[in-house]
A and B are shown apart, each in its own frame.
Chain A
Amino acid sequence: MTKQTNRRAFLRGIGAAGLGIGLAGCSGDGGSGSGGGTATADGSTGTSSGDGESGGVQFDLDAIDPEGLVGQGPYGEEAAAPESVALSDSEASNVQSEGFNVEIVFHYKGDTWVRLQREAIKKRASDLGMNITGIHYPDFSAQKQSNILETVAQKDNVDGVFSIPVDTAATTDAYQAVLDAGKELVFMDNVAEGFQHPSDYAGLVAADNRGMGTIGGRMMTELVDSGKIIFLEFDVPFYVVDERETGAKQVLQESGNYEVETYGFTDPGKVLQVAQDALTSNPDAAGLWAPWVDAPGAQAIQAIRQAGTDIPVTSCDLGERSAVLMAERSALKGVGSQQPYAQGLTEVDVMAKALLGKETPPYIGLPSPPVARQNLLEMYPEVLKEEPPETVTKHFK
Chain B
Amino acid sequence: MSAVIELDHISKQFGQVQALEDVSFGIEENEVLALVGDNGAGKSTLIKIISGVLQQTSGSIYIHGEEAEIGDYNDAEARGIETVYQDLAIAPNRTVAQNIFLGNEILESGPLGKLLRFVDDEQMEREASELLSRLELTLDPGSAVKNFSGGEQQSVAIARALQSDPDIVILDEPTSALSLDATQRVLDLIKRLNEQDVTIIFISHNLEAVFDVADRAAILASGRLVGVEDLTDVTEDELVGMMMGRARQSAD
A and B touch in the complex (CB under 8 A): no
The residues of B with any CB-CB pair to A shorter than 8 Å are none
The residues of A with any CB-CB pair to B shorter than 8 Å are none
